[in-house]
Amino acid sequence: MARHLTPSIDYIRKLYAAQDSLLASIDESLLRLNIPIHIGAEEGKLLQMLITLHRAEKIVEIGTLAGYSTIWMARALPPGGHIYTVNKDPAHIAMASHFFDQSEVRDSITMLEGDAHAVLPQLSSEAPFDMIFIDADKISYNDYLDWAEKNVRPMGLIVADNTLLHGTMGLDLPPQNIAPATWHNMRRFNERLADHEKYFTTMIATQEGLTVAIKLF
Ligand SMILES: C[S@@+](CC[C@H](N)C(=O)[O-])C[C@H]1O[C@@H](n2cnc3c(N)ncnc32)[C@H](O)[C@@H]1O
Protein backbone atom coordinates (compact mmCIF):
# COMPACT_ATOMS: atom_id res chain seq x y z
CA MET A 1 0.00 0.00 0.00
CA ALA A 2 0.97 3.65 -0.28
CA ARG A 3 2.46 4.41 3.12
CA HIS A 4 2.35 8.16 2.67
CA LEU A 5 -0.91 9.53 1.37
CA THR A 6 0.17 12.05 -1.24
CA PRO A 7 -2.34 14.63 -2.56
CA SER A 8 -2.49 12.66 -5.83
CA ILE A 9 -3.28 9.34 -4.14
CA ASP A 10 -5.83 11.13 -1.98
CA TYR A 11 -7.38 12.61 -5.13
CA ILE A 12 -7.55 9.21 -6.88
CA ARG A 13 -9.03 7.54 -3.81
CA LYS A 14 -11.73 10.15 -3.39
CA LEU A 15 -12.65 10.23 -7.06
CA TYR A 16 -12.47 6.55 -8.02
CA ALA A 17 -11.95 4.35 -4.98
CA ALA A 18 -14.09 5.65 -2.15
CA GLN A 19 -14.41 3.22 0.74
CA ASP A 20 -17.81 2.31 2.13
CA SER A 21 -18.27 2.23 5.90
CA LEU A 22 -17.17 -1.42 6.19
CA LEU A 23 -13.87 -0.89 4.37
CA ALA A 24 -13.34 2.33 6.31
CA SER A 25 -13.83 0.51 9.61
CA ILE A 26 -11.28 -2.17 8.63
CA ASP A 27 -8.87 0.60 7.67
CA GLU A 28 -9.43 2.40 10.99
CA SER A 29 -9.08 -0.81 13.04
CA LEU A 30 -5.75 -1.64 11.42
CA LEU A 31 -4.51 1.89 11.93
CA ARG A 32 -5.50 1.72 15.61
CA LEU A 33 -3.62 -1.58 15.97
CA ASN A 34 -0.65 -0.04 14.19
CA ILE A 35 -0.71 -2.64 11.38
CA PRO A 36 -1.79 -0.54 8.39
CA ILE A 37 -0.19 -3.04 5.99
CA HIS A 38 -3.22 -3.67 3.80
CA ILE A 39 -3.43 -2.54 0.19
CA GLY A 40 -4.58 1.00 -0.52
CA ALA A 41 -8.11 1.70 -1.73
CA GLU A 42 -6.83 2.60 -5.20
CA GLU A 43 -5.12 -0.80 -5.33
CA GLY A 44 -8.37 -2.44 -4.28
CA LYS A 45 -10.03 -0.73 -7.22
CA LEU A 46 -7.22 -1.90 -9.49
CA LEU A 47 -7.73 -5.51 -8.33
CA GLN A 48 -11.42 -5.10 -9.10
CA MET A 49 -10.53 -3.80 -12.54
CA LEU A 50 -8.30 -6.83 -13.21
CA ILE A 51 -10.99 -9.26 -12.02
CA THR A 52 -13.58 -7.56 -14.22
CA LEU A 53 -11.37 -7.35 -17.31
CA HIS A 54 -10.23 -10.92 -16.90
CA ARG A 55 -13.68 -12.26 -15.98
CA ALA A 56 -12.03 -14.03 -13.03
CA GLU A 57 -14.43 -16.25 -11.09
CA LYS A 58 -12.15 -18.33 -8.87
CA ILE A 59 -9.45 -16.54 -6.93
CA VAL A 60 -6.91 -17.48 -4.27
CA GLU A 61 -5.50 -14.84 -1.94
CA ILE A 62 -2.47 -15.57 0.22
CA GLY A 63 -2.43 -13.15 3.16
CA THR A 64 -5.85 -12.06 4.45
CA LEU A 65 -4.91 -9.80 7.38
CA ALA A 66 -8.32 -8.29 8.28
CA GLY A 67 -9.96 -9.00 4.94
CA TYR A 68 -9.62 -5.54 3.40
CA SER A 69 -8.28 -6.72 0.03
CA THR A 70 -10.51 -9.83 0.16
CA ILE A 71 -13.65 -7.71 0.35
CA TRP A 72 -12.50 -5.42 -2.47
CA MET A 73 -11.93 -8.48 -4.67
CA ALA A 74 -15.06 -10.37 -3.64
CA ARG A 75 -17.14 -7.35 -4.62
CA ALA A 76 -15.91 -7.60 -8.21
CA LEU A 77 -16.72 -11.30 -8.64
CA PRO A 78 -19.54 -12.30 -10.96
CA PRO A 79 -22.49 -14.23 -9.47
CA GLY A 80 -21.26 -17.67 -8.38
CA GLY A 81 -17.65 -16.46 -8.18
CA HIS A 82 -15.53 -17.37 -5.16
CA ILE A 83 -12.40 -16.25 -3.35
CA TYR A 84 -10.34 -18.49 -1.06
CA THR A 85 -8.17 -16.51 1.33
CA VAL A 86 -5.39 -18.01 3.42
CA ASN A 87 -4.03 -16.78 6.74
CA LYS A 88 -2.02 -18.29 9.55
CA ASP A 89 -2.37 -15.70 12.31
CA PRO A 90 -5.22 -16.43 14.76
CA ALA A 91 -5.73 -12.75 15.67
CA HIS A 92 -5.91 -11.76 12.01
CA ILE A 93 -8.28 -14.62 11.25
CA ALA A 94 -10.59 -13.49 14.06
CA MET A 95 -10.57 -9.92 12.75
CA ALA A 96 -11.23 -11.00 9.17
CA SER A 97 -14.08 -13.32 10.22
CA HIS A 98 -15.68 -10.45 12.09
CA PHE A 99 -15.55 -8.18 9.04
CA PHE A 100 -16.58 -10.90 6.58
CA ASP A 101 -19.67 -11.59 8.70
CA GLN A 102 -20.67 -7.96 8.28
CA SER A 103 -20.14 -7.98 4.54
CA GLU A 104 -22.72 -8.64 1.83
CA VAL A 105 -20.15 -10.81 0.02
CA ARG A 106 -19.57 -13.23 2.93
CA ASP A 107 -20.96 -16.20 0.96
CA SER A 108 -18.40 -15.76 -1.79
CA ILE A 109 -15.45 -15.89 0.64
CA THR A 110 -13.85 -18.98 2.20
CA MET A 111 -11.15 -18.35 4.76
CA LEU A 112 -8.58 -21.11 5.07
CA GLU A 113 -6.66 -21.12 8.32
CA GLY A 114 -3.04 -22.17 8.56
CA ASP A 115 0.34 -21.62 7.00
CA ALA A 116 -0.06 -21.22 3.25
CA HIS A 117 2.63 -23.86 2.68
CA ALA A 118 0.33 -26.42 4.30
CA VAL A 119 -3.00 -25.03 3.08
CA LEU A 120 -2.23 -24.52 -0.61
CA PRO A 121 -1.62 -28.21 -1.44
CA GLN A 122 -5.09 -28.98 -0.04
CA LEU A 123 -6.58 -26.23 -2.20
CA SER A 124 -5.19 -27.83 -5.35
CA SER A 125 -8.30 -30.03 -5.52
CA GLU A 126 -10.26 -26.84 -6.42
CA ALA A 127 -7.89 -25.89 -9.27
CA PRO A 128 -7.69 -24.43 -11.83
CA PHE A 129 -7.95 -20.87 -10.52
CA ASP A 130 -8.37 -17.75 -12.63
CA MET A 131 -6.22 -15.56 -10.41
CA ILE A 132 -3.92 -15.62 -7.42
CA PHE A 133 -3.14 -12.58 -5.27
CA ILE A 134 0.06 -13.00 -3.26
CA ASP A 135 0.42 -10.69 -0.27
CA ALA A 136 2.01 -12.66 2.59
CA ASP A 137 5.54 -13.47 3.84
CA LYS A 138 7.92 -12.10 1.26
CA ILE A 139 10.49 -14.86 1.58
CA SER A 140 7.94 -17.40 0.35
CA TYR A 141 6.88 -15.70 -2.88
CA ASN A 142 8.75 -18.27 -4.99
CA ASP A 143 6.97 -21.12 -3.19
CA TYR A 144 3.65 -19.44 -3.97
CA LEU A 145 4.70 -18.98 -7.58
CA ASP A 146 5.59 -22.69 -7.77
CA TRP A 147 2.05 -23.46 -6.62
CA ALA A 148 0.51 -20.93 -8.98
CA GLU A 149 2.38 -22.41 -11.94
CA LYS A 150 0.52 -25.67 -11.36
CA ASN A 151 -2.84 -24.37 -10.18
CA VAL A 152 -3.60 -21.15 -12.08
CA ARG A 153 -5.11 -21.80 -15.48
CA PRO A 154 -3.34 -20.90 -18.73
CA MET A 155 -3.94 -17.17 -19.33
CA GLY A 156 -4.79 -16.78 -15.63
CA LEU A 157 -3.51 -13.87 -13.54
CA ILE A 158 -0.71 -13.82 -10.98
CA VAL A 159 -0.77 -10.63 -8.95
CA ALA A 160 1.66 -9.90 -6.13
CA ASP A 161 2.10 -6.94 -3.79
CA ASN A 162 5.31 -5.48 -2.34
CA THR A 163 7.45 -6.74 -5.19
CA LEU A 164 9.73 -3.69 -5.01
CA LEU A 165 10.47 -4.78 -1.42
CA HIS A 166 10.37 -1.33 0.13
CA GLY A 167 12.06 0.24 -2.86
CA THR A 168 15.15 -1.98 -2.65
CA MET A 169 14.87 -4.06 -5.81
CA GLY A 170 16.78 -1.57 -7.94
CA LEU A 171 19.83 -1.75 -5.66
CA ASP A 172 22.82 -3.93 -6.53
CA LEU A 173 22.91 -5.56 -3.09
CA PRO A 174 20.45 -5.99 -0.22
CA PRO A 175 20.53 -3.03 2.17
CA GLN A 176 21.23 -3.57 5.87
CA ASN A 177 17.60 -3.41 6.95
CA ILE A 178 16.44 -6.23 4.65
CA ALA A 179 17.29 -9.88 5.25
CA PRO A 180 19.53 -10.96 2.34
CA ALA A 181 17.56 -14.18 1.82
CA THR A 182 14.30 -12.24 1.47
CA TRP A 183 15.89 -9.75 -0.93
CA HIS A 184 17.40 -12.48 -3.13
CA ASN A 185 14.14 -14.41 -3.11
CA MET A 186 12.16 -11.38 -4.28
CA ARG A 187 14.73 -10.71 -7.00
CA ARG A 188 14.36 -14.31 -8.14
CA PHE A 189 10.55 -14.06 -8.06
CA ASN A 190 10.63 -10.95 -10.24
CA GLU A 191 13.14 -12.51 -12.62
CA ARG A 192 11.06 -15.67 -13.00
CA LEU A 193 8.11 -13.53 -14.04
CA ALA A 194 10.32 -11.79 -16.60
CA ASP A 195 10.51 -15.04 -18.61
CA HIS A 196 8.53 -13.84 -21.60
CA GLU A 197 8.00 -17.36 -22.92
CA LYS A 198 6.00 -18.14 -19.76
CA TYR A 199 4.59 -14.82 -18.61
CA PHE A 200 3.30 -11.51 -19.88
CA THR A 201 4.25 -9.30 -16.95
CA THR A 202 4.48 -5.77 -15.75
CA MET A 203 4.93 -4.12 -12.40
CA ILE A 204 2.67 -1.23 -11.50
CA ALA A 205 4.89 1.41 -9.97
CA THR A 206 3.04 1.82 -6.70
CA GLN A 207 5.23 2.75 -3.74
CA GLU A 208 5.56 -0.95 -2.91
CA GLY A 209 5.36 -2.39 -6.42
CA LEU A 210 2.39 -4.43 -7.61
CA THR A 211 3.22 -7.17 -10.10
CA VAL A 212 0.62 -8.23 -12.62
CA ALA A 213 1.41 -11.26 -14.76
CA ILE A 214 -0.56 -13.35 -17.23
CA LYS A 215 0.48 -17.00 -17.08
CA LEU A 216 0.87 -18.06 -20.69
CA PHE A 217 1.14 -21.83 -20.18
C1 LIG B 1 0.37 -7.71 4.19
S2 LIG B 1 -0.75 -8.64 5.13
C3 LIG B 1 -2.06 -8.95 3.99
C4 LIG B 1 -2.85 -7.72 3.69
C5 LIG B 1 -4.14 -8.00 2.94
N6 LIG B 1 -3.87 -8.70 1.70
C7 LIG B 1 -4.84 -6.70 2.61
O8 LIG B 1 -4.34 -5.97 1.72
O9 LIG B 1 -5.87 -6.38 3.23
C10 LIG B 1 0.03 -10.21 5.21
C11 LIG B 1 -0.78 -11.30 5.93
O12 LIG B 1 -0.18 -12.56 5.57
C13 LIG B 1 -0.21 -13.41 6.68
N14 LIG B 1 0.85 -14.41 6.47
C15 LIG B 1 2.20 -14.21 6.49
N16 LIG B 1 2.83 -15.35 6.21
C17 LIG B 1 1.88 -16.30 6.00
C18 LIG B 1 1.93 -17.68 5.68
N19 LIG B 1 3.09 -18.31 5.49
N20 LIG B 1 0.77 -18.35 5.56
C21 LIG B 1 -0.42 -17.70 5.72
N22 LIG B 1 -0.53 -16.40 6.03
C23 LIG B 1 0.61 -15.70 6.18
C24 LIG B 1 0.03 -12.49 7.87
O25 LIG B 1 -0.47 -13.09 9.05
C26 LIG B 1 -0.75 -11.24 7.45
O27 LIG B 1 -2.06 -11.32 7.95
Q: Which domains does the chain have, with CATH numbers?
A: 7-215 (3.40.50.150)
Nearest C-alpha to atom 11 of ligand 1 is from which residue?
63
Q: Is 115 in the pocket of ligand 1 (CB under 6 A)?
A: yes
- pLDDT-derived band at 1 (thresholds 50, 70, 90) equals low
Question: What is the Å distance from ligand 1's center to 136 Cα?
Answer: 4
Judged on CB neighbours under 10 Å (0-12, 13-18, 19+), 193 is: buried
Q: Contact 148/132 with Cβ under 8 angstroms?
A: yes
Q: Relative to the CA of 39, which ligand 1 atom is closest?
A: 8
Q: Is the pTM of this model over 0.75?
A: yes
Cα separation, 19 vs 178, in Å, equals 33
Share of the chain above pLDDT 90, in %: 97
| 129-158: pLDDT as tens digits | 999 999 999 999 999 999 999 999 999 999
Q: Is 63 in the pocket of ligand 1 (CB under 6 A)?
A: yes
Q: Is 116 in the pocket of ligand 1 (CB under 6 A)?
A: yes
Cα separation, 103 vs 183, in Å, equals 36
Alpha carbon 14 to chain centroid distance? Answer: 22
The pLDDT of residue 2:
46
Q: Is 162 in the pocket of ligand 1 (CB under 6 A)?
A: no
Q: Relative to the CA of 136, which ligand 1 atom is closest?
A: 12
Residue 8 has a CB neighbour count (10 Å cut-off) of: 10
Question: What is the Å distance from ligand 1's center to 160 Cα?
Answer: 12
In Å, what is the CA distance from 132 to each residue of 34, 111, 122, 170? 27, 14, 15, 25
Q: Is 88 in the pocket of ligand 1 (CB under 6 A)?
A: yes
Q: Relative to the CA of 43, which ligand 1 atom is closest?
A: 8
DSSP 171: S
Cα separation, 187 vs 166, in Å, equals 13
Q: How confident is the model over 55-80, as a mean pLDDT?
A: 98
With residue 153 as reference, give the H or E element that holds it: strand 152-161
